[in-house]
Homo-oligomer: A and B are copies of this chain.
Amino acid sequence: MGNLADCCRRFWCPMKNPNVRVSLPAVCFVWQIAMIILFGLFVRYNEEADAHWSMHMKEKNISSNIENDFYFRYPSFQDVHVMIFVGFGFLMTFLKRYSFGGVGFNFLIAAFGLQWALLMQGWFHSLDPADGAIKIGIENLINADFCVAGCLIAYGALLGKVSPVQLMVLTLFGITLFAVEEHIILELLHVRDAGGSMVIHTFGAYYGLTISWILYRPKLKLSSSLHGSVYHSDVFAMIGTLFLWMFWPSFNSAISDHGDGQHRAAINTYLALAASVLTTFAVSSLSAKKGKLDMVHIQNATLAAGVAMGTAAEFMITTYGSLIIGFCCGILSTFGYLVLTPRMEKYLKIQDTCGIHNLHAMPGLLGGVVGAITAALASESVYGHEGLINTFDFKGKYANRTPATQGGYQAAGICVALVFGIVGGIVVGCILRLPIWADPSDDNCFDDEVYWELPDEEESLPPILEYKNHTTGKIPEMSEISYTVEQS
């Protein structure tokens, strides 16, 4: 495996010139124009968003506008939207000098990704055979945000080490792979995965980790002075953490069935998340010499339960079942940050800036397994006759599927997500090694200076950074410096 990656790495030896003045505008303009043309050719409002809705109501004998899907899903959609842009964005502001890149590039690729996702998912799921058009409504917007989430997860592994152009390419391919993978899992295999443990998190995490493995930077230590947080950047990151944590019940319930499906998914996710907070604090404290808590754990591992509930949230997993999953996730994920992340860099050459292996990969796999087991154990006595049919959608050509079979298909879904993540990651990783993407050099990683105009005169800049700017351009270690401080 290592040889393959080495081989890939040697084949393309990028020259570093992180100037995106031509490439970034070119990509943005060309792709946005392509979006306009494709939307013009393919995308129309669905019947609930079209001005013919009042006619449609009469035909379908719908008595009130409140039955429009908009009112079932719009509040959840806005919560998901906040998770994508503020949640993921601010979670990535924790680095001392990469907050602009964290929140800014997240903004860029999410805004592009959702357009491409509407098209890709539309071709697979929402194509109206009558006129060959994609018909979109509120549920499509939620799904597009979900699709984008997969790519933002991948960005987490690469934070600070890639150029915005690379991120755009990563997103283009990521969304495409996602849509195909989702089609196979949700439609061909008829797997249930409303909150995306497999489809979103497992896929996104392995996609990002594999790319990071291909893009391994042996001399990343050169940027180590910027590879950490400062006090206030950690507080900014908590904004991201909390909005993700609070709105995860909306994420997992956003496209569940109307009524009890959405209701139950929200309750289960809420409970699991609460439990994972306690075990995260416990393990974080237990692992430090004086019991001191580590902000990295609190910012990330508390969220793992939301990931792990992605598949089973809408099932009758019981309230204590949700708590147990949350309990395990807090431990598992914190353990990952403590033990696995440093070893993965050392032995596997996977540099994972935000620790997505601990927050998305492992909990995503766990969520897939939990979903498969819960599905396999479902019974009419627990769900009721109709409840079972509705929850697993045993209708049409799947009317004869049993819960046990469904469990098997759920397990197969995990494998599909994994394969798409890893194989897709290898292909896209190789593409991203081409020496044309203006990525930063090893000593310029985690530095907003490369792609952003920074404020000229920073009043909160300590002398040490002035020192950098005015003389050698290097930042001395704190220990190399002494300040002249006199008693007056």
Q: Which residues of the partner chain B approach A31 to less than 8 Å between Cβ atoms? A: 278
Total A residues in contact with B, Cβ cutoff 8 Å: 161
- Asked if A339 is an interface residue, CB under 8 A from chain B, the answer is no
- Asked whether, in the complex, the Cβ of B459 is within 8 Å of the Cβ of A96, the reply is yes
CB-CB < 8 A to A319: which residues of B? Answer: 39, 43-45, 136
Chain A positions 69 through 106: 1 when the CB is less than 8 Å from some CB of chain B, otherwise 0 = 11110111011011001100110010011011001100
Complex: chain B residue closest to A134, CB-CB = B319
Question: Smallest distance from the beta carbon of A394 to chain B beta carbons, Å?
Answer: 13
Main secondary structure, interface of A, reads: helix
- Pick from B21, B37, B291, B466: contact of A478, CB below 8 A: B466
CB-based contact A462/B459 at 8 Å: yes
Contact pick for A39, options B323, B384, B456, B466, CB 8 Å: B323
Q: Judge if A292 is at the interface, Cβ distance under 8 Å.
A: yes
Given contacts A49-B264, A462-B461, contact A108 B281 (CB under 8 A): yes
Which of the residues B21, B48, B480 comes within 8 Å of A288, measured between beta carbons? Answer: B21
Of A233-241, A360-368, A400-408, the one contacting chain B is A233-241
What is the CB-to-nearest-CB distance from A127 to chain B, in angstroms, rounded to a whole number?
15
- Given contacts A54-B386, A457-B477, 16 further A-B pairs with CB under 8 A are A19-B290, A32-B279, A43-B320, A53-B387, A54-B259, A63-B63, A108-B281, A111-B302, A112-B277, A239-B239, A293-B451, A294-B452, A295-B453, A460-B462, A464-B485, A466-B478
Task: Give 10 nearest A-B pairs by CB, closest first.
Answer: A21-B291, A51-B387, A53-B260, A111-B277, A65-B259, A28-B282, A40-B320, A463-B483, A25-B282, A65-B258
